[in-house]
Amino acid sequence: MMCNEAMVRGALEADVKLISCYPGAPTSEILDTFNNAQKHFDYKFTIATNEKVALETAAGAAMAGFRALTSMKSVGLNVASDAFFSLGYTGVKGGLVMVVADDPYCHSSQSEEDGRFFAQYGYIPMLEPTNPQEAYQMVKDAFTLSERYGTIVLVRTTTRINHQSGMVRFGELDRTPFKKARWSEVGGNFFTVGEVARENKLKLLKKVENFKREFEDSKYNIITTGDGDLGILTSGVGYSYAVDASNKLQLKPHILKLGTTYPLPEKKIIEFMKGLKTLIVVEELSPYLEHNARRFARNAGLDLTIYGKDTGHFSEALEYNVPIVVNGISSALDITPSTDYDAVLKRANDLKTILPPRMPVFCAGCPHRATFWSLQQVLRGRDVVFNNDIGCYSMAYFPPLNMSVSLLSMGSSLGLSAGMAQVLEDEVMCTVGDSTFFHAALPGLVNAVYHDLNITLIVLDNEVTAMTGQQLHPGTPEGRGLPAGKKRILIENVCKGIGVPHCEVMDSYDVKNNIKILRAAFDFKGPAVVISRRSCALHGDRIKRRSKIPIIPNEVDKASCKKPHTCIRDFHCPAITFDTDDRASHIQPDICDGCGVCAKICPFGVIHPIGDQGKVSNSNTNSNPKPEVEK
């Protein structure tokens, strides 16, 4: 199983009753697996509008005595942190497990955040698995630990743990039927302010002492005995790298793999360090284990040398791999590895120089590409500052678009624009996606309307949370997977409700008409919103295939093509290539999804659906018709 799937299995065996998550790599498969398994179980599952709501929803169920789980990435915990820290004080009644994933190397995040410090500063116990088997068992055990102490339990992972696959030995699915309760039967007092908060803090510190005693004997803290006086302290995926690196260097160190990383088992770590002359700490991101090991050694009066990030042998940046750990251990011990990894890397980088650069691109048929084409026509000759946001459309920053000046965090484009609109002569615009609109953009939009700021907001509505795997959100329409009993919330209705004075909805594929709509929005003095709506191409194509609707790609009539290459130079669709034989544009039928936008921008009208010679493609099947909106 993938580790994310294994954690779902552990929660199901623990009889979890409510799950509330917000999608975010590398945890999205947890949400997807719970969503797909709903038909087999009777738990309650919701995709929340953001991580704060997800945690609070799970906490509400746990306060009522039900076992609940939430998952998110580390930058999502930033959003949920207000509730997170207060829940440490109030506690819960039913088991509450929170899976939080760090993303070293920023595979899908805007920062390399180290989530371990949330546990430390929130006084929340934290478990950290190394493989799918441990992840499965830790989630299962975390519910018991949570109920024993009346607290959240944090299960911390990283990208290489979440997406790791391996064999998992299951237990029994001994689940009880879901049955609602009454607050008078199960509820308690979950209140924290003033004097109550001060009392709760003292109770919380006592809980931490109990966690420490329990974690000293945890089965997840494992010592592997080696030879000599060399030891390695590690956790998570660092353990796997340390074992492989030791084998490659023909070393047999003593290794302490920690599975309980807050509170740390101080006595066990000190006992491990006794008798060692050298300790190497292998951990990604911040020197969390290293600083604590130094403190423990100093307090215990131990005489040993500790190597890690503080000594310059390991970096606080990027994620690790076996070569990095081999080089770090080798430099600390002043030995020469059998493989010169630096030379291998240099050779690889030299070879890459002969390859053309490959920037991330929008998928064929992506409605964002069409929207940005129209936007580029409008921005010519205007001094406009463009603040971008988190989503597929973040790629507007990269070549060939090179359009935006900022990318901070979800929803921040509106806040940044509010500041710039008040201090710059330039026009100010920003973009958010539909899921981001509900997640974090609403307060910024309310602020812009309240202060009557001259900001143009473009909402790129592709009807799902596309970047993380096409999960549903409050704006997803019927026919796109909206479950029965759930009500779609139209973004234009929200804008109207908060008093946006200028709001238009446009079909992303109607590129030439959209120029007029966008220009009118920029000319409007005050907050203006344009909602560019079309289904995510991948999601729309998936629905077509399931419904057995044919996807008819386009082709270029080469006999009529005048070879201006507008479709390549200005539109940048990955399905359109340059034919080196006849120097004409060529559309790859296995990539093209027949959106027909390229046909609309072709100055000579020589692009048409295959088998439909002479007719310009005007496909309108990927999305619902443009809804009306009161101006």
Question: Which domains, and CATH codes, for the chain?
Answer: 3-216 (3.40.50.970), 222-351 (3.40.50.920), 367-540 (3.40.50.970), 543-609 (3.30.70.20)
What's the CA gap between 395 and 400, in Å, rounded?
10
**Mean pLDDT score across all residues of the chain:** 92
Between 122 and 471, name the one with better pLDDT. 122
Instruction: Confirm if 585 and 576 have CB atoms less than 8 A apart.
Output: yes
Question: Comparing 86-95, 180-189, 436-445, 547-556, which segment has the lowest mean pLDDT?
Answer: 180-189
pLDDT (average), residues 423-440? 94
- Cβ neighbours of residue 225 under 8 Å, at least 6 residues apart? 254
Quick one: tokens of 119?
Answer: 């546990």
The pLDDT score that the predictor gives to residue 487 is: 84
What's the CA gap between 55 and 53, in Å, rounded?
6
Handedness of CA 441, 443, 449, 455 (dihedral sign): negative
DSSP 482: P
What's the CA gap between 32 and 332, in Å, rounded?
43
**Sheet strands side by side (includes 44-47):** 44-47, 18-21, 68-73, 96-102, 152-158, 126-127, 260-262
**Token pair 């779902």 is at which residue?**
8
pLDDT (average), residues 573-600? 91
The pLDDT score that the predictor gives to residue 482 is: 66
pLDDT tens across 222-277, in order? 999 999 999 999 999 999 999 999 999 999 999 999 999 999 999 999 999 998 99
Q: Report the largest interatomic distance among the alpha carbons of the chain, rounded to a whole angstrom.
A: 85
429: exposed, middle or buried (Cβ count in 10 Å: 0-12, 13-18, 19+): buried
Residue 617 has pLDDT above 60, yes or no: no
**Token pair 């940044």 is at which residue?**
416
Share of the chain above pLDDT 90, in %: 79
Residue 622 has pLDDT above 90, yes or no: no
pLDDT (average), residues 477-496? 82
The CA-based angle 400-406-408, given to 5 degrees, is: 125
pLDDT tens across 1-30, in order? 999 999 999 999 999 999 999 998 999 999
The pLDDT score that the predictor gives to residue 625 is: 38
- Cβ neighbours of residue 443 under 8 Å, at least 6 residues apart? 411
Residue 291 has pLDDT above 60, yes or no: yes
Residue 108 has pLDDT above 90, yes or no: no
Q: What is the pTM of this model?
A: 0.87
pLDDT (average), residues 444-454? 96
The pLDDT score that the predictor gives to residue 142 is: 98
pLDDT tens across 552-566, in order? 999 999 888 888 888
The pLDDT score that the predictor gives to residue 581 is: 86
**Phi and psi of 307, rounded to 5°?**
-110, 140
What's the CA gap between 81 and 502, in Å, rounded?
35
pLDDT tens across 75-102, in order? 999 999 999 999 999 999 999 999 999 9
* pLDDT band per the 50, 70, 90 thresholds, residue 374: very high
Quick one: tokens of 130?
Answer: 């190394």
The pLDDT score that the predictor gives to residue 479 is: 67
What's the CA gap between 463 and 531, in Å, rounded?
11
Between 45 and 566, name the one with better pLDDT. 45
What's the CA gap between 164 and 504, in Å, rounded?
45
Phi-psi region of 60 (alpha: psi -120 to 50; beta: other; left: phi over 0): alpha
Q: Cα separations (Å) of 405 from 130, 232, 430, 531?
A: 39, 44, 10, 21
| Three-state secondary-structure class, residue 536 | coil
The pLDDT score that the predictor gives to residue 624 is: 39
Share of the chain above pLDDT 70, in %: 96
